[in-house]
Structure formats: structure tokens, C-alpha cells
Amino acid sequence: MRISVLLMLYLYFMSGHQQQNVRLSFLILVLGTGIMAVKFLAWYLTHSNTILTDALESIVNVLAGSFSLFALWLSSKPRDEEHPYGHGKIEFISAGFEGALILLAGLGILVKSVFNLVHPAHLHDLGTGIGLSVATGGLNYLFGVILVMRGKKSRSLALTANGEHLKSDGYTSAAMVGGLIIVFFTGYVWLDSVVAIIMAMLIVYMGYRIVRRSLAGIMDEADLDVIDEILEVLNRNRKPEWIDVHNLRVIKYGTTYHIDCHVTQPWYFDLKHSHDSIEELSQIIEREVQAEVEFFIHTDPCIPSSCKICEVQDCKFRSEVVNEKIIWTRTTLLTNQKHGL
């Protein structure tokens, strides 16, 4: 008990965006444990296979929430000699673990529901079970919305995955309540297992999506949404001395983005001028993307064929008039080739 109190105090006094994520995740985990207890109470009162399905999924919620909390805490630790890029990759592992638990829970629920479809159980006190399910499902959905909003704002996959899981729990609870209401008014007990089977298939699909997204992050798969966001920022803030940008790569470590790219600049820029121009580009992206960003930008000197796309005014070394404007697109940014060649 004393250790738990000390842990709560430690989490409360942590500061910073990542630490705020840890505190929020811890609070949701505590509340989720209470919701799980209420769901099992609803199953005990009703003996409903559908409600048991919902209660078993809550075990997954708590286990996944616990691992997510650990992942958020670990990813908030500063980088060190052994982890020069920080500890953010643990968030992908956390999301994958959560997705795997959801998949296993869904498959287990599916097997039990099919069994109960053949051997239905006697149901009773459905009114109380429906009321408790509405309350717990509504709370989980609310917590999910809060976690997703926070996760997207801080660009935390672990927080977003946990939030999406809780939101889906709210959806399945709504479907479950609808099925139980039909059972309540019709007396068709077999519908209880049918609804549970449908819910189990939805849970399996949700687990697959989370695992797929986690593996994409671990394998450093390009996040096209982030690339498109950076593309929009670059086009909107374009400077003439950024003659072209190419070979863009984005890797995500927790809430931090590592961006590599090549920027072609006038060959006669001195080192300070070039540095200041690149620093301005970095600051613009970091400010507008609203995330922690680390840049590795390589500068390329322009060549004679660059003149036709270069908009630098009063260039004394221009060998060709400007006759083409390169519109930066996802394809041009990702290609490892100077534009205008």
C-alpha cells in the first residue's frame, strides 16, 4: 500500500508532455480496473454469455493498459549511450502486445460463444445487467475519446492504441446492449450467443489492425500521413533558396520524429548562410508539425541544370532562365534525385 501511494505521488509530480501521458494512462488504468469489476458483477447477476464477453475483454483492457503505462514511462526516459535515439520504440511493442491480447481474447470469446449457441445458458436479471453495461460501456468510450485526443496531440502510438481499444469497447458494449434488449423482450436466448459471436469477430479485427500498425512502426514503414503533413508545411513556407528538397525519410521513435532529407541550395552560399537557411527550415517544420523533431539535413550545391527551376533573385551565376516550377509532391520529396535533372 505504501509503495502504491509513493508511486501515485511520483506520477503526479512528473512534468512535461510525456509525463502527462503517463499520469493520464495511470488514472485511466485505475478507473478501468473498477469498470472491470462492475462488468463481472453484471455477468454474475445475469449469467449472460454476451456480458461475460464484455467482462473478459475488460481483463485485456487492464493488462494492455498496464503494459501501455510501462511503455509510456520507459519512452519518457531521456536518451542515453545505449539508446541514442531514445526509448520511444517501446510504444510500438506496447501496441503490438495490446493487439495480440485483443486477438487472443476475441478468438477465445468466439469459441465460447459458438459453444453456448449449441448449449445455451439460462439468463436472468437482464434489466440490471443492461443498466450496468450501459454505464460501463459509456465510461470506457469517454475514457477512450480522452486518450485518443491526448495521444494524437502528443503523437503517442501507445496512448492512441489504448484509447482506440477503449472506444471500441464502447461500441461493442452498445451492440451488446442492443442484443440484450432484444433478448429481454423476445425471450430468444440464442440471440445472446449470436451477438457475442458478432462482437468477438469485431474484437479480432480490431486486434489485427493494432498489431498491423505496431509492426509497421517497428519495421520503420513510411507514415504517409506525416509525410503529407510535412509536404504541406514545406509548400506553404517555401523559400527561394530551398531550390529543391528530396530523399525525405521520416522515422518515429515514441513521440519524436527523426527526419532525414537533402536540400539543394546555391553553391556559393557560405557555411553560415547555408546553416541559417537550414535552421529556419527545421524550426518551421518543428513549429507547425507541433512535435519533437530531430533533423539530419544534408545540403547539396546547385548545378547548372538547377537554374531552370531556381527562383533565387539576382543570381550572378545563373546560366539558364527559370522555365519550370517544381511542385513538391510526395513522389518528388521521397525520390533520391535532384529536381530539374
User: Average pLDDT of 61-86?
Assistant: 76
Amino acid symbol at 339: H
Report pLDDT for 17: 59
**Cα 249 from Cα 103, distance rounded (Å):** 32
- What three-state secondary structure class fits 123? coil
Report pLDDT for 288: 84
User: What is the DSSP code string of 292-324?
Assistant: EEEEEEEEEE--GGGGGG---TT-TT--S----
Give the three cell numbers for residue 142: 469517454
What does DSSP assign to residue 238?
Answer: -
Q: Is the pLDDT assigned to residue 10 strictly greater than 60?
A: no
**Cα 114 from Cα 89, distance rounded (Å):** 38
Higher pLDDT, 338 or 331: 331
Q: pLDDT band for 179, please (50, 70, 90 cuts).
A: confident
Report pLDDT for 276: 92
User: Average pLDDT of 133-137?
Assistant: 86
Give the three cell numbers for residue 41: 458483477
Q: pLDDT band for 266, please (50, 70, 90 cuts).
A: very high
Q: pLDDT band for 1, please (50, 70, 90 cuts).
A: very low
Q: Computed over its alpha carbons, how large is the radius of gyration of the chain?
A: 26
Q: How far is CA 202 from CA 104, 207, 227, in A?
A: 13, 9, 30
User: Average pLDDT of 25-45?
Assistant: 85
Give the three cell numbers for residue 141: 468510450
C-alpha closest to that of 196 among 99, 117, 98: 117
Could you report the per-residue pLDDT of 215-231, keeping only the tens digit for each? 777 776 667 778 888 88
Give the three cell numbers for residue 268: 556559393
User: Average pLDDT of 302-313?
Assistant: 87
**Cα 133 from Cα 173, distance rounded (Å):** 7
Which helix (H) or strand (E) segment holds residue 129: the answer is helix 126-154
Q: Is the pLDDT assigned to residue 15 strictly greater than 50?
A: no
**Cα 281 from Cα 244, distance rounded (Å):** 12
Give the least confident one: 18-22, 41-45, 161-165, 285-289.
Answer: 18-22
* Reported pTM: 0.61
C-alpha closest to that of 65 among 54, 76, 57: 57
Q: Is the pLDDT assigned to residue 5 strictly greater than 50?
A: no
| Mean per-residue pLDDT over the chain, rounded | 79
The structural architecture, per CATH, of the domain 2-218 is: Up-down Bundle (1.20)
CB 64 within 8 A of CB 97: yes
Higher pLDDT, 6 or 185: 185
- Using CA atoms in the order 12, 2, 90, 37, what is the torsion angle rounded to 10 degrees? -90
Report pLDDT for 265: 92
* CATH node for 224-334: 3.30.70.1350
Q: pLDDT band for 18, please (50, 70, 90 cuts).
A: low
**Cα 288 from Cα 16, distance rounded (Å):** 19
Q: Is the pLDDT assigned to residue 112 strictly greater than 80?
A: no
User: Average pLDDT of 7-21?
Assistant: 52
Q: Look at strands 292-301 and 256-265 and give their pairing.
A: parallel
Q: How far is CA 223 from CA 167, 227, 251, 252, 279, in A?
A: 23, 6, 8, 9, 24
Beta strands in the chain (DSSP E): 244-253, 256-265, 292-301
User: Average pLDDT of 157-164?
Assistant: 76
Domains 2-218 and 224-334 share a fold: no
**Cα 133 from Cα 3, distance rounded (Å):** 33
C-alpha closest to that of 133 among 40, 237, 199: 40
Higher pLDDT, 68 or 240: 240
Q: Where are the domains of the chain?
A: 2-218, 224-334
Higher pLDDT, 197 or 255: 197
